[in-house]
Amino acid sequence: MSYATSLYLTGAEIGLSLTGLVLLLVAAWGGTKSARLLTMVSVAALIGAAIFSIGLFDRATSEVAGRAFGDLYRADAFGSFAKILIYLASAAVLVVTPRFFAQSGSYRAEYPVLLLFNAVGMGMMVSATDLMTLYIGLEMSSLSSYVLASFLKQDGRSSEAGLKYFVLGALASGIILYGVSLVYGFTGSTNYEGIRAAFETNFSTGALFGVVFVLAGLAFKVSAVPFHMWTPDVYEGAPTPVTAFFASAPKVAAMGMLLRMAMDPFAGEVDSWRQIVIFSALASIVVGALGAIGQQNLKRLLAYSSINNVGFILIGLAAATQAGVAASLTYVAIYVAMTVGSFTALLMLRAPDGTNLETFADISGLSTKRPALAWSLLAVMFSLAGIPPLFGFWGKFVVFQAAVQANLVALAAIGIAASVIGAFYYLKFIKVMFFDEPTREIETTSPLSHWAVLAICVAIISPLGYLLTIPLGEWTAQAAASFVAAM
């Protein structure tokens, strides 16, 4: 394997890093004035990286199985699929960001740069096939996330969110690192293939501890119960565009990392970790649903909703089959569209004086004031609740089907019954928007960029999305086949 091949396979990350570095210089000299330009360049770079990843999707598997730098990094179909989602989600979130900060005059040129470096880290997370690469990617992404969470320096809640995220995130990183060191100690390898081979010959109790610690740390990153406590606070405190970002791209990255970790190095020990995943999945679904019921703040509610959704994604992992991983990826893809759509709609809710609206009382009677926005939110909410014919149903459908095919019928039955609890608070959204009388003034126009992002998301989750089921099924199956053998 030549060095050039390695560089080619990591092209997306390298391109993003270089763009980030150049933009950093521009930001240093250009100051806040250049923020708008930087945002546009960053969006272009992210879309470019996504297109590059699409190009790698088919090819990488043929060439040295996409291994780069001595199998520290693998640009396989799985990594490419996750990266496409990550880059597109980041770009979409970046498009709707500036307007939020512009109103308080706090938008600065560092924002897009931080997001770019975050994207590099996320790309590494999903492609890492070595514990060291994994950890570097994870920290790169996490550190920029902590800064982003506290981006509104003057706002106490934002700083609080940043601090909370940092302290708890550091704890999780520590747990992962501890697990990693145990795994390394018992296997003598940091490479995924090496670990897998070593576990096959000998899986001791100490190694089991390592696996559990690593999975616990990753559960924190995907905000699965019982490591979810930070999510509502951080989501509520962070500026709304940052919350939108947290709920979309880093979720994909963390989920991708978890899927690869569980099904590649730990694939031989499914029976050891399956019960943990099952517990976490069901607990996430239930806690995510029950926790959301009393919430008045929409961002907090969406935080619980994301916990709830992670539970469903984990059901695909609990199946521990190729179909299960493919199902989780399908769910993640649809989840990204729903999340970006819901937060974009949230960003479009502003009072005439420019303050952001983010409680239930603010959106009451929205359907009479802004029917198009209300109908879009209706589609997003029914989709999140998993009601057909919206596309969110398909995500639930494939994960539950994977569970049933893996003979986890009881898990599927309990999970789907618990999803009815979740439907309750999504319905509340619709009830408030459609059934209640309007109480407050609301801005009547939104910029075209927001509409464009929202329209794309709603088009994907509308029944038209079902036309995507065949290609989506093929892509996710191919992605899952990168490291999971078919049964």
435 part of the interface to other proteins, by CB under 8 A: yes
**x/- map, 117-156, other proteins, by CB under 8 A:** ----------------------------------------
* C-alpha dist (Å) from residue 85 to 82, 247, 248, 277, 312: 5, 13, 9, 24, 18
Q: How many C-beta atoms lie closer than 10 Å to residue 105's C-beta?
A: 8
Give the separation between CA 372 and CA 375, rounded to whole angstroms. Answer: 5
Select the span of 127-135, 201-209, 236-244, 465-473 touching other proteins (CB under 8 A): 465-473
Q: Which of 181, 72, 77, 82 is nearest to 129 (CA)?
A: 72
* C-alpha dist (Å) from residue 60 to 8, 77, 260, 344, 470: 10, 7, 17, 34, 22
Q: Which helix (H) or strand (E) holds 152?
A: none
Q: How far is the CB of 199 from other proteins (least distance, A)?
A: 30
Q: How far is the CB of 94 from other proteins (least distance, A)?
A: 31
Name residue 404's beta-bridge partners.
none
177 part of the interface to other proteins, by CB under 8 A: no
* Site residue total, other proteins (CB under 8 A): 35
Q: How far is the CB of 420 from other proteins (least distance, A)?
A: 5
Binder among 18, 424, 485, 487 for other proteins (CB under 8 A): 424
> Two tokens at 361?
């009382």
Q: How far is the CB of 390 from other proteins (least distance, A)?
A: 8
Between helix 371-385 and helix 409-430 the angle, nearest 10°, is 160
Question: Where in 371-400 is the site for other proteins (CB under 8 A)?
Answer: 371, 375, 382, 387-389, 393, 397-398, 400
4 part of the interface to other proteins, by CB under 8 A: no
Q: How far is the CB of 215 from other proteins (least distance, A)?
A: 27
Q: How many C-beta atoms lie closer than 10 Å to residue 9's C-beta?
A: 27
Nearer of residues 74 and 396 to other proteins, judged by Cβ: 396
CA 349 to chain centre: 23
Binder among 7, 21, 132, 413 for other proteins (CB under 8 A): 413
Nearer of residues 135 and 304 to other proteins, judged by Cβ: 304
462 part of the interface to other proteins, by CB under 8 A: no
Select the span of 59-67, 287-295, 337-345, 470-478 touching other proteins (CB under 8 A): 470-478
Characterize 437-470 residue by residue with b for buried, 16 or more Cβ atoms within 10 angstroms of its Cβ, and e for exposed.
Answer: eeeeebbeebeebbbebbeebbebbeeebeebee
Name residue 130's beta-bridge partners.
191
Select the span of 21-29, 266-274, 276-284, 419-427 touching other proteins (CB under 8 A): 419-427
Q: How far is the CB of 437 from other proteins (least distance, A)?
A: 11
427 part of the interface to other proteins, by CB under 8 A: yes
286 part of the interface to other proteins, by CB under 8 A: no
Q: Which of 241, 248, 424, 236 is nearest to 345 (CA)?
A: 241
467 part of the interface to other proteins, by CB under 8 A: yes
Q: How far is the CB of 382 from other proteins (least distance, A)?
A: 6
Check if the beta carbon of residue 254 is closer than 8 Å to that of residue 227.
no
Q: How far is the CB of 380 from other proteins (least distance, A)?
A: 13
Q: Rounded to 5 degrees, what angle do the CA atoms 152, 124, 302 make?
A: 45
Nearer of residues 449 and 469 to other proteins, judged by Cβ: 469
CB burial class (10 A; 0-12, 13-18, 19+) of residue 381? buried
- Secondary structure (3-state) at 454: helix
102 part of the interface to other proteins, by CB under 8 A: no
Residues that bind other proteins (CB under 8 A): 367-368, 371, 375, 382, 387-389, 393, 397-398, 400-401, 404-405, 409, 412-413, 416-417, 419-420, 423-424, 427, 430-431, 434-435, 466-467, 469-470, 472-473
